[in-house]
Structure 1
């Protein structure tokens, strides 16, 4: 028997059960239970706008009915290219009611990224903000599987239009697109036929990067979503009667589960503020007085660093968690001193549908005396975490190896990629690619990433993708990209470039070249031009030498 089969972490949960049984079959069941319990209760708060559960039900019914009338069938994909706006939740529910799944797309995605995601997912419907459609999607849609384009505006559902976010925003109507509000009104009052969703059905596709750097669509099932929402409620104490502040982007697995899914399960209002801007979020905290949230430590630090911040902004909170990137003991201490609240740690991946480990609410994450690292928590209830060596064998407690997770939150696989699924999730156990260890009490510590993935403010960046973009510049001969420590982002992207003979270009010009072609979190913040990149005798670039 392996030491991990004895589950040394179970004692950390005190009087809480070590296992939990799902209360609902599908994520749609969670929403409907909340609707039945309190139909006129607030589902979403968006600046000065409020959407009740009844209104959310009617709008998603209308959208689902319209999608079905346009030929949407069970198993189809609805892609959303949105910021944190109410329309995201409406679309999610509508996709499920129509028997389909949601494809969440990063609103920072540029043309080549969006083209890949639409093509790989086979999305037949795209819901996009008007500005994103105008700047990006209209160049991509004609060569994509998309048959219906719905556009919407961040100005909907509110009347304030904060100039810090919406100062120059104008409405744009493009030929070949349909306004979402008009589409919903056209089908208002219609109810889609009953749909039966099982725990094995895919709720949404969330794209991550694998060992080749090519994005893969993780198939997060309804069973995954229900289970991890319960972990937030029972393990992190995102409790009914409060409200959850959406600090993380909704397209990210943290936002999908730690914001939307838990708001449906609790149920509780979901507070949205379009996108993260520290001053705007502080205003939302003051107005809506939320009780819980989870976000990257970089976002929480930005709130503390804002000149308007006071401890009162967090006076309404009961539970604060950090996910997406490991935090240091100093960062945890600073947050507690500034707000009076402990920031609890959680750790997970897209493939674990958010948390695989978390610090049980009220517990103190230990610090590893050897490395000074703060634990990322203990395995969640009903979850087994193992540490394995390169041969796949369990290592002893305290020894370093790859972190592997098994439990109800692990995804069914990658969309249409059986070989990648078999390699990364053999037998349903996720090989995380992260290196760490577990102590004798069951606390998990992350030491490093097994691969060269860069984690910038909680976003994962694959070096080869940046290198490929740099290689598109006519002056570049070779490029190598590594992650380097960064005080604000945790880790940031640095590029090393050698130039073609006779060519000259400034580092800032190459950074601008990447910025124009990539999401904001991916482009290099630092770039050095060197004569030759270090290589092995076989010509492989030695990134480890460039890290220093």
Structure 2
């Protein structure tokens, strides 16, 4: 086995290469933790605290309320909420009712929301009052019947819950939400208050029963609905938990700055915390100052995030020397982790910051560097237990030689069952149980994998393949560079040429000539950017991933305007 899976020899002794996975409704995590730790703190939201006993009671109330609205097993229920207690209650309450959860980004435009509601066939939506103007327009010509509307004050502690409505009226004077059962609009507080907390948790076939339709981020095109079963999510929670073998049951505090509606936050934070009977420290959005306040107030021990989050905290003027000292483990995903960021964060915190890899189609985690053992910075680590990975070519699934660049193919219990209503795309992505990821990478002799880039992002410059990630890593090493993104732009002579978008650290000034010299000392000439654009920020997803698609759209718009003039 170790010949075909060389990574196994680098597994810590405490991590098994294979596990037995539960076959139940994933909401059983909450039932188990509430049974064993009823009075333990489950959630802290800006000072409002819920015990496991109270969280379970609220979830049962919502589950029974959904049943009263004639939501049956397999019906889709969309959740459009930021990080708040209601998001947790909606997720587990919906699963207990047997619904298929559709997580929806609260920043979606009316058009994006309509596409997702229409595609998923969701018949109910749980959302914020502030989002209702968009929801009211987007729900037309969809299957949506009922909308349960909450407000942030429903989850806030006293006296913030009293003061928030005043602040909301001042900031949104024209916001008027109509609560009418005849129109399918229900007030969250009334639904929870009037519903029974009778025990409820629908039995499911974990292997075939869908827990979620999770839409891909759409960074390379229109989002697709990824079908994740209860077994997929259960397996990934167990795999990640096994990897974090030093975490103590009922004792860890997880800082939830990643959005829970994203699959990374959903598994590594929400499901993981509840599975481990930990405490979820909810932050409504990533704001460095608010995150620092939360760290000082509650001293989290686990902080999954994106590189941009760690960079922001390291560079924040209010970050004190001992602020990060409680953090034992950070897992970075969504984008490449610069080595200097890893080193500085570990130095300040005394904990471990390791890079991993995953995608929506894999629930999402497939790879991770060992946390307390031999690791290789700059790689995504090794496959998790029961996860097989190959580097393959274009034509078949045969593994390529060690060190050769090819496409990552993944097989494991966390791999999706397919794309919702897209049989052709499912057939193209899944072959003999293997998922072709669209990511290019290599495997070394120790079984550690390195991501080179997305197949779709390769730059073809003068007949050479240029990988944006390689150039970005060189730019990140420059002491003045805070953020960098590279993409290909049209070039009459080379077909495409390399353009770099740069955000500088505060107080630094660097010219494109200086960056050019820096790159020429470290890259072959054909890889060196020919164009530089300095900006104050880059377009990011809510999880911190640079949206190259947005940069390409900006370029296309500029070219169209030039052609018009």
TM-score, length-normalised on structure 2?
0.78
> How many Å apart are 1:98 and its aligned residue?
1.2
> How many Å apart are 1:199 and its aligned residue?
3.6
Aligned mates of 1:133, 1:520 — CA distance in 2: 28
Q: Does 2:104 align with 1:105? A: yes
Q: Given the alignment, which residue of 351, 364, 387 partners 1:383? A: 387
Distance 1:193 1:481, change over 3 A: farther
Aligned mates of 1:166, 1:231 — CA distance in 2: 42
> How many Å apart are 1:101 and its aligned residue?
1.3
Aligned mates of 1:443, 1:390 — CA distance in 2: 21
Q: Given the alignment, which residue of 417, 426, 450 partners 1:412? A: 417
Question: After superposition, where does 1:60-99 map in structure 2 within 5 Å?
Answer: 60-99=59-98
Contact 1:81–1:127 under 8 Å retained in 2: yes
Distance 1:532 1:137, change over 3 A: closer
Aligned mates of 1:194, 1:444 — CA distance in 2: 40
Aligned mates of 1:257, 1:363 — CA distance in 2: 23
> How many Å apart are 1:488 and its aligned residue?
8.1
Aligned mates of 2:406, 2:218 — CA distance in 1: 19
Q: Does 2:304 align with 1:304? A: no
> How many Å apart are 1:172 and its aligned residue?
5.0
Q: Does 2:221 align with 1:217? A: no
Q: Residue 63 of structure 2: SS of its match in structure 1? A: helix
Distance 1:87 1:210, change over 3 A: closer
Q: Does 2:288 align with 1:278? A: yes
Structure 1, residues 196-224: CA drift from partner, whole Å, max 9, x if none? 45243211111016798231111111111
Aligned mates of 2:228, 2:310 — CA distance in 1: 27
Aligned mates of 2:201, 2:216 — CA distance in 1: 33
Q: Does 2:8 align with 1:10? A: yes
Question: After superposition, where does 1:380-529 map in structure 2 within 5 Å?
Answer: 380-392=384-396, 393-452=398-457, 484-487=500-503, 523-524=550-551, 527=555, 529=558
Contact 2:236–2:414 under 8 Å retained in 1: yes
Contact 2:98–2:201 under 8 Å retained in 1: no
> How many Å apart are 1:189 and its aligned residue?
3.3
Aligned mates of 2:406, 2:297 — CA distance in 1: 46
Aligned mates of 1:399, 1:72 — CA distance in 2: 51
Distance 1:152 1:197, change over 3 A: farther
Match of 1:353 in 2: 363
Q: Residue 215 of structure 1: SS of its match in structure 2? A: coil
Contact 1:257–1:353 under 8 Å retained in 2: yes
Q: Residue 169 of structure 1: SS of its match in structure 2? A: helix
Structure 1, residues 141-198: CA drift from partner, whole Å, max 9, x if none? 13321100111112222236499x9994348532442111111111133444753452
Question: After superposition, where does 1:133-148 map in structure 2 within 5 Å?
Answer: 133-134=132-133, 136-148=134-146
Aligned mates of 2:340, 2:559 — CA distance in 1: 35
Q: Residue 434 of structure 1: SS of its match in structure 2? A: strand
Match of 1:25 in 2: 24
Contact 2:82–2:259 under 8 Å retained in 1: yes
> How many Å apart are 1:25 and its aligned residue?
3.0
Q: Does 2:214 align with 1:206? A: yes
Match of 1:540 in 2: none
Aligned mates of 1:260, 1:314 — CA distance in 2: 22
Aligned mates of 1:157, 1:531 — CA distance in 2: 47
Match of 2:323 in 1: 313
Moved more, 356-365 or 229-238: 229-238
Aligned mates of 2:343, 2:117 — CA distance in 1: 43
Contact 1:26–1:199 under 8 Å retained in 2: no
Distance 1:313 1:156, change over 3 A: farther
Q: Residue 286 of structure 2: SS of its match in structure 1? A: coil
Contact 1:345–1:365 under 8 Å retained in 2: no
Contact 1:403–1:431 under 8 Å retained in 2: yes
Q: Given the alignment, which residue of 336, 346, 350 partners 1:326? A: 336
Aligned mates of 1:173, 1:415 — CA distance in 2: 32
Aligned mates of 1:82, 1:157 — CA distance in 2: 12
Distance 1:162 1:437, change over 3 A: farther
> How many Å apart are 1:249 and its aligned residue?
0.7
Q: Residue 354 of structure 2: SS of its match in structure 1? A: strand
Contact 1:348–1:357 under 8 Å retained in 2: yes
Moved more, 257-266 or 176-185: 176-185
Q: Residue 143 of structure 1: SS of its match in structure 2? A: coil
TM-score, length-normalised on structure 1?
0.80
* Structure 2 unaligned blocks of 5 or more: 170-174, 459-467, 473-484, 488-495, 506-532
Q: Residue 295 of structure 1: SS of its match in structure 2? A: coil
Distance 1:486 1:205, change over 3 A: farther
Structure 1, residues 228-266: CA drift from partner, whole Å, max 9, x if none? 112222213444211111121111111110111001111
